[in-house]
Structure 1
Amino acid sequence: MQAWAIAVVSVLGLLTLFVLRTTGGKITRPILNDIPDIAIGGTLWLALSLLTQRPASSALLWAVLAAGLLLADHTKRQILREPVVFADASELFLVFTHPRFYLPYVHPAIFYGIGGALVLATAWLFSVESPAMPGNPILSRVAGALLLLLPIAAYFWRPSLNLMAKVLRKLGPSGDPVLDAEKLGMLGSFAAHTVCSRQERPERQAACSFGIVTVPPDKPPVVLVQAESFFDIGRLDPALPSPLTEYAACRDRAWRYGHLNVDSWGANTTRSEFAVISGASPADLGLDRFNPYHSFARGPIDTLAARLRRAGYLTVCVHPYDRRFYSRHKVMPNLGFDQFIGGEAFGARHGQLVSDEILGAWVNDFIARQTQPVFVFAITVANHGPWPTQATTPGPFASQLGGYLDSLMSTDRMIGQLASSRWLNDDGGIFALYGDHQPSLPALTRGGFDIDSSTDYFILNNTCPAGNQRDIDVHMLGHSVADCLKDRFLRSSNVRAARPFSGVGN
């Protein structure tokens, strides 16, 4: 290498290490903690340098990518209260296919301005830097390819995967992304979590069992709704009446209701989604808890839907958005659903958010056309942020909540549609609804409100008397729906047992 290239590589290497330290949340730490980042980063730089024969350009590329990681991590910590984790790699492509869910949270001047300048600078350096790696170029490129391919092959071969996991566990990863980023560095924690999660995944998948679901003889319709960014805003000021009148009416006559403790804030819908339908806790999932759809749910899982299907129900999941988002089109059949219906059923264009009221009307119409027992899991999307700063809905919370209030009122109207339906009131159905996570609104954290990360839920069964509040973890909600079915079964059994025998004489 030329002297200038050595100098550039050295400076960029130190800069990249500083950026990784900043991203990991521990700028000042012992150099020993940097060994995983140095080893992984050095290997990646060497592999790319051998492949391209351009060491300085390769160093700049990895420095730019490290800066992008820092930006993503900082944004995620600010909006979602957690760092970037290894499973977020599956969302990298989604940033470009569904930008409205990601880019509005990053200032355009940073993403397009600074980011674009760095990309152009990297491309320019690649175009002007002369090949400078020693040795035969062909052999160098083969060596560079092997540096990348061998670890990948070892990751997919079970004996070498077990060995890799054993070695990485000696570094002492805790499974906490914050602590591991500080201790092992970002690249080190990504490597440890990626390898260890794959190594332990088959055992965790095999142990994932929802349990027995007892269904009453009449097999009532069951509708479970995951409401995007929903919580009872009446909690913001208990002295004021909640504007969510339909929700309040359902809660007051619900078989069970309460706060729902969720494992996320502002996003990561799939965590709540999978927890409810599978009954699996974060401890059951291990490192796959960050995004169970990334790998964990890519095989058949025992779920509430699977159990109801065995009991004779038609199981349907409906999400009025791109059916490929988070690979739901691959995951939902593994979760026990006979049908998965996406935005195509609503004529939605790419990126269009279908209103909750349209979804509610679709559910009512769908159930009315069925001739067999049906379980519908409806996943709303219209209340996804970001929201306009101004609300058109009047009320005491309008100034703090802005456009979120308008979307939430649409959710409330959907609740009214479903609560007044024939399948619920005439056919004795069961209607459950819950919020997947709190909205990522600064007003909730910096507006003086005393609010935690829990959302709200209810389970409505008009054949049973209203119950009491019971606050639960999100993975227990599916089991609570199963408990409601069992309670219905026991009540019907008691009625039959108490009914006097009426014989027919000769």
Structure 2
Amino acid sequence: MPGWTIAAVSGLAIVALVILRITGGRPFRPLRNDLPDVAVALILWLSLALLTGRPASSALLWVVLAAGLLLADHTKREVLREPIVFADASELLLVFTHPRFYLPYVHPAVFYGIGGLLVGATAWLFSVEPPSMPGGPVLSRLIGALLLIVPIAAYFWRPSLNVMAGVIRRLRPTGDPVEDAKTLGMLGSFAAHTLCSRQERPARQAACSFGIVTVPADKPPVVLVQAESFFDIGRLDPSLPSPLTEYQACRAQAWRHGRLDVDSWGANTTRSEFAAISGAAPSDLGLDRFNPYYSFARRPLDTLAARMRRAGYLTVCVHPYDRRFYGRHKVMPNLGFDHFIGGEAFDSRRGQLVPDEVLGAWINDFIARETRPVFVFAITVANHGPWAAQAETDSPFAPMLGGYLDSLMGTDRMIGQLAASRWLNEDGGIFALYGDHQPSLPVLLNDGAHIGASTDYFILDRTRPAGPRDDIRVDQLGRALAGCLKEHIPLPDRLRG
């Protein structure tokens, strides 16, 4: 290689290492903690350099990607209060297919300006740098391809995976992404978590068991709603009148209600979604707890929906958005749902968020038409951020919540639709609702409102008297709903029917 190439590669390697140290949260760590990062980065750089024959351009490309990783990690820590994790790789394409959920949180000058400049510089260098790797081009490309193919093949072959996972565990990863990034480096922790999660996944999947679900003779309609970014805003200031009148009425009459301890803040809705249906706690999922839909739920599992289907219910999941988002179109059948209804049923344009009131009307109409006993799991989306800075709703909470309050009121109106439905009041149905996580709002950031990170839930059964407040974890919610179903008191006319 020419001297300028060696100098450029060396300089870029130092820049990349500094970026990775900053991303890992420990810029002045001992050199031994850089070894996992260096090993992964060296394999990636060498493989690309051998495949293209351009070592300096390959080094610049990986520096740009490292800078992108730093930006993503910084943004996620600021917005969601947690770092980038290995499972976030599954969301890389979602940034481009569903940009409204990601790009508003990054300044356009940084993403399009600096990002575009770096990508352009990399493309230019690839076009002008002459091939300078030693050896023939055929042999170089073969070795470069093998540097990628061999580790990937070993990852998918169980005996070699067990060996690699055993070696990785000698580095003593904790499973905590913050601590492992400090001690193993960001790339090192990604590699460790990817290997260990795949190695232990089959045993964890086999142990995933919801348990017995007993249904009454009349098999009443059951509706479970996961409300996007929902929590009881009255907790922010109990002295103010809450505008969530429909929610308050349901909570006052509910068989059970209370705080819901969730494993996320601001996003990562699939964590609460999976926990409620599966009954699996984060400790049951291991490293797959960061995104259960990434790999864990890609095989049939024992869940609330699966048990209810076995008991004679038609199980339906409805999410009025792109059915492929987070791979739900592949996951929902594995969670026990007979049908998964996406945005195609709502005539929504690409990227459009279907109002909660429209979803509420769909649920009521669907149950009214269906002759079989039904279990509907609805996942709302209309209250997803970002929100307008100013609220149109007239309320004392408007100054602190902004446009979030407007979409939250749509959720409250949907609650009123379902609470007034025939299937609930005349057919003796059960209606449960919970929030997946709190919204990413400045007033709530880092618990600025001093209310913790929990959301709220209720389980409403008109045949049962109002019960006490019961604070639970989200993975206990499905079993609480099953408990309500087991103790449900059938209406006399339903029994005669």
Q: For residue 57 of structure 2, what is the amino acid of its counterpart?
A: S
Provide, for residues 71-126 of structure 1, a one-character-per-residue CA deviation record: whole Å limited to 9, x for no partner: 00000000001000000000000000000000000000000000000000000000
What does 1:263-412 align with in structure 2 at a 5 Å threshold? Answer: 263-412=263-412
Distance 1:448 1:142 in 2: 55
Residues 246 and 416 in structure 1, CA contact (< 8 A), matched pair in contact too: yes
5+ residue gaps, structure 2, are: 493-497
In structure 2, give the amino acid aligned to 1:164. M
Cα offset, 1:445, TM superposition = 2.6
Shift of 1:451: 1.9
Tell me: CA distance 1:117–1:448, structure 2 relative to 1, closer, same or farther (3 Å). same
CA distance in 1, matches of 2:412, 2:77: 30
CA shift at 1:203, angstroms?
Answer: 0.4
Residue ranges of structure 1 left out of the alignment (5+ in a row): 496-506
Q: Aligned partners of 2:377, 2:47: CA distance in 1, in Å?
A: 47
Alignment deviations for residues 212-263 of structure 1 (CA, whole Å, 9 cap, x no partner):
0010101000000000000000000011121100000000000000000000
Instruction: Give the match for residue 124 of structure 1.
Output: 124
| Aligned counterpart, 1:135 | 135
Task: Tell me the SS of whatever aligns to 1:407.
Answer: helix
Aligned-CA RMSD value: 1.1
1:211 matches 2:211: yes
Residue equivalent to 1:63: 63
- The aligned amino acid for 2:257 is Y
Runs of 4+ in 1 over 3 A off after TM superposition: none
Counterpart-to-counterpart distance in 2, 1:295 and 1:459: 31
SS in 2 for 1:340: strand
Map 1:5-24 → 2, pairs under 5 A: 5-24=5-24
Q: Secondary structure at the match of 1:200?
A: helix
CA distance in 1, matches of 2:242, 2:447: 18
Q: Equivalent residue for 2:193? A: 193
Cα distance between partner residues in 1 of 2:490 and 2:346: 38
Given that 2:218 and 2:490 are in contact with CA atoms closer than 8 Å, whether structure 1 keeps it comes out as no
C-alpha separation between the residues in 1 aligned to 2:111 and 2:16?
A: 19
Query: In the alignment, residue 432 of structure 2 is paired with which amino acid?
Result: A
Q: Determine the structure 1 residue equivalent to 2:251.
A: 251
Between the aligned partners of 2:332 and 2:314, the Cα distance in structure 1 is 14
Residue type of the partner of 1:291? N
Q: CA deviation at 1:492?
A: 5.8
Letter in 2 for 1:468: P
Preserved CA contact (<8 Å) 1:354 1:382: yes
Alpha-carbon separation, structure 1, partners of 2:186 and 2:477: 34
TM-score, with structure 1 as normaliser: 0.96
Kept after mapping to 1: 8 A contact 2:302/2:335: yes
Counterpart of 2:207, as a letter, is: A
Aligned to 1:28: 28
Could you tell me which amino acid in structure 2 is paired with residue 51 of structure 1? Answer: L
Tell me how far apart the structure 1 counterparts of residues 222 and 334 of structure 2 sit (CA, whole Å).
20
In the aligned structure 2, how far is the partner of 1:241 from the partner of 1:467? 23
Tell me if structure 2 keeps the 8 A contact 1:86–1:190: yes
Match of 1:502 in 2: none
Secondary structure of the residue that 1:381 maps to in structure 2?
A: coil
1:466-503 CA-partner distances (Å, limit 9, x unpaired): 00001001100001000101111xx569x9xxxxxxxx
Between the aligned partners of 2:205 and 2:435, the Cα distance in structure 1 is 26
Q: Which residue of 1 aligns with 2:495?
A: none
Structure 1: distance between partners of 2:12 and 2:279: 47
Whether contact under 8 Å (1:400, 1:447) holds in the other structure is no
1:150 has 2:136 as partner: no
In structure 1, what is the Cα distance between the partners aligned to 2:102 and 2:275? 23
Alpha-carbon distance in 2 for matches of 1:331, 1:386 = 26
Who is 1:444 aligned against? Answer: 444
Over the matched positions of the two proteins, sequence identity in percent amounts to 77
Structure 1 residues 271 and 104 mapped into 2: Cα distance closer, same or farther (>3 Å)? same
Shift of 1:137: 1.2
**How much has 1:446 moved relative to structure 2?**
7.1
Number of aligned residue pairs: 492
Cα distance in 2, alignment partners of residues 313 and 241 from structure 1: 40
2:467 matched to which residue of 1?
Answer: 467
* Conserved 8 A contact 1:24-1:181: yes
Structure 1 residue matching 2:293: 3-state secondary structure: coil
3-state SS of 2:451 partner: coil
- In 2, the alpha carbon distance for the partners of 1:372 and 1:241 equals 41
The answer to whether structure 1 residue 476 and structure 2 residue 462 are counterparts is no
SS state at 2:443 partner: helix
CA distance in 2, matches of 1:170, 1:103: 38
Partner Cα separation in structure 2 for residue 262 and residue 369 of structure 1: 34
Confirm whether residue 225 of structure 1 aligns to residue 225 of structure 2: yes
CA contact (8 A) 2:48 2:144 kept: yes
1:177 paired with 2:201, answer: no
2: CA distance, partners of 1:231 / 1:480: 19
Distance 1:417 1:367, change over 3 A: same
CA distance in 1, matches of 2:136, 2:418: 71
